[in-house]
Amino acid sequence: MSALDTPDKAPSRLGGLIAATDWSLVTLVVGAIVLWFVPVNMGRYGTYVLSLWLVMAVAAMGLNLILGYAGLKALCQAAFLGIGAYATALLTKAGVPWVAAFGLSGLLCFVVGILIGFPALRVRAHYLGFVTLAFATVVWLVMRNEQWLTGGTFGLSNIPRPAILGWKTDGALAFHRFVVGVTLILALGLWWLVKSPWGRAFLALRENPVRAASLGVDTRLYTLMAFAIGSAYGGFAGALYAPLVEFIDPSPFSLGASFFLVLMVICGGAGFMMGPFVGALLAVALPEWLRFTGGLYLLIFAATVLVLLILCPGGILGLGEKAIAWMRRRL
């Protein structure tokens, strides 16, 4: 009998339960419960910022699937955010129920994501980034110049908020709780996908596409699906963004917004389930907290992000994982 088999060294039942617990799932559920009640006394603007954080986290979740799990360089997530926002705005203003507009926006981005994924079958790394960057540029130009469809620089206003089964979300708190519920459903769906064999195939694609193909992984299929599903999440985020702000124009969906979403994924921790939430919180909430500094808040925010990228290239959660591993070795 080895030392590890003796009763005093055997792991406790509680310790085994803690080790087996999926803390990302627990965090998602507990976080949703907390966010449901937190904004009660935060005021209209504070509630709006929390809702905006969750919407950006949904868009970043899709990009995390593409970049963090599948390892594909994509710089066009803001374009899908814009496609979903404009599609939802146009459909709901035409009288289509929000639920149908939500599904159609995600489906549209899913199909476009498959089409954009085809170049990924031929090019890799930075070249793929250039292809997606060109696509994002084209989408933004269409939003800006096709005034008959998008309203051009004047945008689209009076976007209605959802009313589902008699539940109206016109108020800031009601809509925030609606966003919390939708975000939880989307996050649980992505959690299930990542934990499934598809998730393991995405990770194999990220680590070594040639070795993954030699093991029987259909790299063409999973490359297309990574782009398509990640793009659909961008569309879902846009479907939430449009009624949140109730007015959209091309400026929030520019090339800078795509880089901002990449920043959220990297700073939060690419390949971590909770990474998009941490990165989006940093990108959305930190500038608001720094507004007391006056005109210096953007400079302080940029310096903070730069320090984070230098000190923890694996993101905040990557740094936390290393710290936990270090403490376990010491104990």
**Tens digit of each residue's pLDDT (9 = 90 or more) over 255-297:** 889 999 999 999 999 999 999 999 999 889 888 887 777 777 7
Contact 120, 227 (CB under 8 A): yes
Which residue has 């598809």 as its token pair?
198
Look at residue 323 in the predicted model and tell me its pLDDT: 83
| Residue 7 within any structural domain of the chain | no
Max intra-chain CA distance, the chain = 79
3-state secondary structure (DSSP) of residue 305: helix
Torsion angle defined by CA atoms of residues 141, 147, 153 and 154, in that order, rounded to the nearest 10 degrees: -160
Which residues in the chain show pLDDT less than 50?
Answer: 1-11, 14-20
Give residues with Cβ within 8 angstroms of 199, minimum separation 6.
69, 193
Task: Give the whole-angstrom CA distance, residue 22 versus residue 31.
Answer: 14
| Residue 3 within any structural domain of the chain | no
Of the candidates 101, 88, 93, 86, the residue with the CA atom closest to the CA atom of residue 150: 86
Look at residue 78 in the predicted model and tell me its pLDDT: 96
The residue range of the domain holding 153 is: 23-258
The token duo for 23 is 């803390």
Look at residue 125 in the predicted model and tell me its pLDDT: 66
| Residue 201 within any structural domain of the chain | yes
| Residue 309 within any structural domain of the chain | no
Q: Residue 248 forms beta bridges with which residues?
A: 156
* Number of CB atoms found within 10 A of residue 97's CB: 13
Q: In degrees rounded to 5, what are phi and psi of residue 76?
A: -135, 20
The token duo for 158 is 């009076």
* pTM of model > 0.85: yes
Give residues with Cβ within 8 angstroms of 149, minimum separation 6.
86, 90, 142
| Residue 242 within any structural domain of the chain | yes
| Residue 313 within any structural domain of the chain | no
* Number of CB atoms found within 10 A of residue 193's CB: 16
End-to-end CA distance of the chain: 24
* Number of CB atoms found within 10 A of residue 183's CB: 25
Overall domain count for the chain: 1
Give residues with Cβ within 8 angstroms of 308, minimum separation 6.
267, 282, 316
Q: Chain centroid to CA 319: how far?
A: 20
* Number of CB atoms found within 10 A of residue 220's CB: 13
| Residue 304 within any structural domain of the chain | no
What size, in residues, is the chain? 331
| Residue 47 within any structural domain of the chain | yes
Look at residue 30 in the predicted model and tell me its pLDDT: 92
Task: Give the whole-angstrom CA distance, residue 169 versus residue 172.
Answer: 8
**Tens digit of each residue's pLDDT (9 = 90 or more) over 79-114:** 999 999 999 999 999 999 999 999 999 999 999 999
